[in-house]
């Protein structure tokens, strides 16, 4: 058994119920790093390009990565992947909690599921016992109700991940929930599980994981723990989680307000991190192997409703279901967080879809008649709740929105496409990019549709000047290589990326675990390889030049920010085109946004070059060749 690996990969045919065990392909894990990387390769190799994301040929993969469950801080993540029903390209999403380590302790690195079960089932893993069990008693339950029920039925030491009614009903932005409040939210992985009639995954593992050099790893971990325990970021994280950032985001006018209509919120105090701690906090919560305990277990109280308990809200939910929906009290935001978690809806896309619908209502594009006699006003929890119910159950106009804001806009028309705040079909994260050009470029070029987690450049935008667009591309490319590495190795970026641990040090931990003896340069190159493979996969499925898909909604250049500290600011279409030009050149792609053969050859992706060439989508040779170094780490200006 290779170091860092559990040793076995499961392949499950959900049509027939057949479960096969294979030794984990160590070479594959080495070349593609596990987690997001190996998922990208398997999806590329095995899912036909015309496969329906909801069909039997789509795969649903869970991968625990080589570092998850090992003797390191925050080695807690698990990665899920499939062809996304939201974006029609590679989709992956991860969660913390305890499921990834449990899967490895049970003896499995990866589970690859194909087909569609004839009836609702859940995957049961108890060390070497692997079964598909009847889930009819759980089907229809909310995620936050289902997990405790399954723990009661199976045992408290089982780690459970579930989908809610949203996933069961094929809502394209459905999530997977685990440990009561951890979600794999983005790209609709919950919907793919639902399409396969897979309600839940239950894992108990009692084994161990062999590492390459336990003594060196122990010394290394001891030193990291000592260093990070006194890190200045630790105490605020522990108290507020990421919710502390709401105030700063507003002060710097990047917070989304009422569907990104503006970027400064007059009611920020009611939904701030301090409000969360004062009004809702019960206690703190952590993932496997982490003492940052950034999770906040909270209670939401809304007049006329029973109190609900949840984990959150963190920044993204706090902004996208807070200021973005016109909410004025943290209890409202927490309640909507709970609601979406329970139905199994990504709170980021969920907040974006509800906000889009609220603006449609504001503009008279949808009416009370469309909403079963209800209104859909900004700041109304009741209105939002009723609308979410319509979407989850695909009633009436809810059907339009079940596919996300892009598809809803295509049905509603009348100019609504302009303010469906998404890229490639996935809703934008909780930062407005009109006066943060690097952030906008990050959304435009993200491989899985708009998402901040691949590249986050707000502070770079501030340091370099928010009116300036030049030079952002190389920073975005660098971040798009380093940040997804956490999703390959299944460790938490909040610990490993935000506490002054250098990339070289993370690679050192990887080497102590695996014995691979790689350096940071190889790590970045592998991440770049994965990025380009995912790009090729997207082109092959969507059969058009990449540039076609890399634009933000027209609000991004047509609507200047109307109010607040950034009033009057915004980018032009020409500036957006120029940013794309710079980005493609930085990547070694042509001006159509298609990877060139030269860069794909450099990344050992000649097979992908051949495939996109057959479709006429291979990037033209670049006149000056490809850059030798693609992406550059940002160094803050000295003061």
Partner 1 sequence: MTIFLRAGGQLRAMLKPDIDHYTRKVEIDSEQTIGEILTAISLDPAYVALVYVDGKMKDLSFKPSEGQTITLQPPVSGG
CB of 500 to partner 1, least distance (A): 5
Phi, psi at 282, each rounded to 5°: -105, -55
Helix (H), strand (E) at residue 512: helix 503-514
The residue among 321, 242, 311, 243 whose CA lies nearest residue 282 is 311
Q: Does 173 bind partner 1 (CB under 8 A)?
A: no
**Under rule CB under 8 A, how many of the chain's residues touch partner 1?**
36
Stretch that binds partner 1, among 245-253, 395-403, 573-581, 597-605 (CB under 8 A): 245-253
Spatial CB neighbours of 54, under 8 Å, sequence gap ≥ 6: 85, 170, 191, 192, 195
What is the distance between the alpha carbons of residues 203 and 201, in angstroms, rounded to a whole number? 7
Q: Does 639 bind partner 1 (CB under 8 A)?
A: yes
Stretch that binds partner 1, among 50-58, 84-92, 454-462, 509-517 (CB under 8 A): 454-462
Which residue is associated with the tokens 């069961």? 168
Helix (H), strand (E) at residue 318: helix 315-320
Q: Which x/- pattern over 274-313 shows residues binding partner 1 (rule: CB under 8 A)? A: x---------------------------------------
Helix (H), strand (E) at residue 398: helix 398-401
Q: Does 495 bind partner 1 (CB under 8 A)?
A: no
Tokens of 132: 């598909």
Q: Does 489 bind partner 1 (CB under 8 A)?
A: no
Longest Cα separation, the chain = 68
Per the rule left: phi > 0, alpha: psi between -120 and 50, beta: everything else, 88 is left
Q: Does 368 bind partner 1 (CB under 8 A)?
A: no
* Alpha-helical runs (H) found in 230-303: 234-240, 245-251, 273-279
Binding partner 1 (rule: CB under 8 A), the pick from 149, 231, 374, 394 is 231
The interface with partner 1 within residues 564-583 (CB under 8 A) comprises: none
The interface with partner 1 within residues 462-481 (CB under 8 A) comprises: 462-463
Q: Which is nearer to partner 1, 240 or 378 (CB)?
A: 240
Tokens of 493: 């970026």
Q: Does 487 bind partner 1 (CB under 8 A)?
A: no
Q: Does 242 bind partner 1 (CB under 8 A)?
A: yes
Which residue is associated with the tokens 């991440």? 527
Q: Does 123 bind partner 1 (CB under 8 A)?
A: no
Binding partner 1 (rule: CB under 8 A), the pick from 32, 124, 456, 531 is 456
Q: Are strands 121-126 and 198-204 parallel, antiparallel or unpaired?
A: parallel
Supply the DSSP symbol for 254: -
What is the distance between the alpha carbons of residues 383 and 358, in angstroms, rounded to a whole number? 9
CB of 532 to partner 1, least distance (A): 24
Number of H-type helices and E-type strands within the chain: 26, 17
CB of 378 to partner 1, least distance (A): 23
Supply the DSSP symbol for 618: S
Omega prior to 313 cis, within 30 of 0: yes
Tokens of 612: 């996109």
Q: Which is nearer to partner 1, 400 or 456 (CB)?
A: 456
Q: Which is nearer to partner 1, 327 or 391 (CB)?
A: 327
Q: Which x/- pattern over 258-277 shows residues binding partner 1 (rule: CB under 8 A)? A: ---------------xx---
- β partners of residue 422: 427
The residue among 53, 50, 75 whose CA lies nearest residue 65 is 75
* CB distance 296 to 315 below 8 Å: no
Binding partner 1 (rule: CB under 8 A), the pick from 280, 409, 458, 510 is 458
CB of 445 to partner 1, least distance (A): 16
CB of 586 to partner 1, least distance (A): 21
Q: Which is nearer to partner 1, 80 or 400 (CB)?
A: 80
Binding partner 1 (rule: CB under 8 A), the pick from 180, 240, 335, 531 is 240
Phi, psi at 11, each rounded to 5°: -120, 125
Polymer length of the chain = 639
Binding partner 1 (rule: CB under 8 A), the pick from 498, 559, 581, 598 is 498
CB of 486 to partner 1, least distance (A): 10
Q: Does 248 bind partner 1 (CB under 8 A)?
A: yes
Supply the DSSP symbol for 636: P
The interface with partner 1 within residues 312-341 (CB under 8 A) comprises: 314-316
Q: Does 108 bind partner 1 (CB under 8 A)?
A: no
Q: Does 230 bind partner 1 (CB under 8 A)?
A: yes
Q: Does 235 bind partner 1 (CB under 8 A)?
A: yes
Q: Are strands 295-300 and 18-23 parallel, antiparallel or unpaired?
A: unpaired
Q: Does 493 bind partner 1 (CB under 8 A)?
A: yes
Rounded to 5, what percent of the chain is helix, strand, coil? 45, 15, 40
Stretch that binds partner 1, among 26-34, 81-89, 382-390, 492-500 (CB under 8 A): 492-500
CB of 493 to partner 1, least distance (A): 7
CB of 482 to partner 1, least distance (A): 13
List contacts with partner 1 (CB under 8 A). Answer: 96, 230-233, 235-236, 239-240, 242, 244-245, 247-249, 252, 273-274, 314-316, 452-453, 456, 458-459, 462-463, 493-494, 498-500, 636, 638-639
């Amino acid at each position: 058994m290779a170091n860092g690996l559990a040793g076995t990969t499961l392949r499950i045919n959900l049509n027939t119920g057949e479960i096969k065990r294979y030794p984990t392909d160590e070479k594959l894990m080495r070349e593609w790093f596990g987690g997001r990387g190996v998922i990208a390769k398997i999806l590329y190799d095995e899912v036909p390009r015309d496969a329906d994301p909801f069909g039997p040929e789509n795969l649903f993969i869970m991968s625990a990565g080589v570092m998850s469950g090992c003797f390191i801080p925050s080695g807690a993540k698990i990665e899920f992947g499939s062809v996304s029903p939201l974006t029609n390209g590679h989709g992956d999403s991860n969660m913390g909690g305890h499921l990834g380590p449990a899967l490895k302790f049970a003896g499995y690195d990866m589970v690859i599921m194909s087909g569609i079960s004839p009836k609702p089932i859940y995957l049961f893993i108890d060390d070497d016992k692997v079964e598909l069990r009847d889930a009819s008693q759980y089907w229809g339950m909310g995620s936050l109700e289902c997990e405790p029920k399954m723990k009661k039925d199976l045992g408290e030491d089982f780690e459970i991940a579930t989908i809610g009614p949203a996933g069961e009903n094929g809502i394209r932005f459905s999530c997977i929930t685990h440990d009561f409040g951890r979600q794999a939210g983005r790209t609709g992985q919950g919907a793919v599980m639902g399409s396969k009639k897979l309600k839940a995954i239950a894992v108990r593992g009692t084994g161990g994981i062999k590492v390459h050099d336990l003594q060196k790893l122990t010394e290394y971990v001891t030193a990291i723990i000592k260093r990070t325990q006194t890190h200045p970021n630790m105490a605020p994280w522990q108290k507020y989680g990421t919710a502390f950032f709401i105030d700063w985001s507003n002060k710097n006018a990047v917070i989304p307000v009422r569907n990104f209509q503006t970027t400064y919120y007059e009611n920020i105090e009611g939904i701030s991190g301090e409000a969360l701690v004062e009004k809702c906090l019960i206690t703190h919560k952590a993932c496997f192997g982490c003492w940052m305990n950034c999770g906040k277990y909270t209670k939401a109280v809304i007049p006329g409703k029973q109190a609900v308990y949840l984990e959150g809200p963190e920044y993204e939910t706090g902004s996208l279901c807070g200021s973005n929906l016109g909410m004025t009290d943290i209890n409202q935001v927490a309640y909507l967080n709970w609601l979406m978690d329970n139905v199994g809806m990504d709170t980021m896309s969920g907040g974006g879809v509800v906000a889009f619908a609220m603006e449609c209502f504001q503009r008279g594009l949808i009416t009370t008649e469309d909403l079963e006699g209800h209104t859909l006003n900004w700041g109304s929890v009741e209105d939002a709740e009723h609308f979410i119910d319509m979407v989850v159950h695909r009633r009436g106009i809810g059907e339009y929105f079940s596919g996300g804001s892009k598809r809803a806009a295509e049905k509603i028309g009348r100019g609504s496409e302009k303010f469906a705040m998404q890229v490639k079909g996935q809703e934008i994260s909780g930062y407005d990019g009109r006066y943060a050009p690097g952030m906008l470029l990050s959304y435009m070029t993200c491989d899985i549709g708009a998402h901040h987690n691949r590249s986050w450049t707000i502070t770079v935008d501030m340091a370099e000047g928010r009116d300036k667009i030049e030079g952002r591309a190389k920073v975005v490319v660098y971040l798009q290589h380093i940040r997804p590495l956490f999703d390959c190795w299944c460790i938490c970026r909040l610990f490993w990326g935000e506490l002054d641990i250098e990339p070289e040090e993370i690679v050192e931990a990887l080497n102590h675990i695996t014995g691979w003896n790689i350096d940071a340069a190889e790590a970045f190159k592998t991440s770049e390889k994965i990025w380009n493979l995912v790009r090729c996969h997207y082109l092959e499925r969507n059969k058009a030049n990449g540039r076609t898909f890399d634009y933000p909604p027209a609000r991004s250049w047509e609507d200047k920010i109307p109010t607040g500290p950034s009033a009057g600011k915004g980018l032009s279409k020409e500036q957006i085109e120029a940013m794309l030009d710079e980005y493609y050149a930085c990547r070694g792609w042509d001006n159509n946004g298609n990877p060139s053969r030269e860069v794909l050859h450099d990344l050992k992706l000649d097979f992908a070059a051949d495939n996109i060439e057959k479709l006429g989508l291979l990037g033209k040779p670049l006149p000056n060749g490809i850059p030798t170094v693609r992406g550059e780490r940002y160094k803050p200006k000295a003061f």
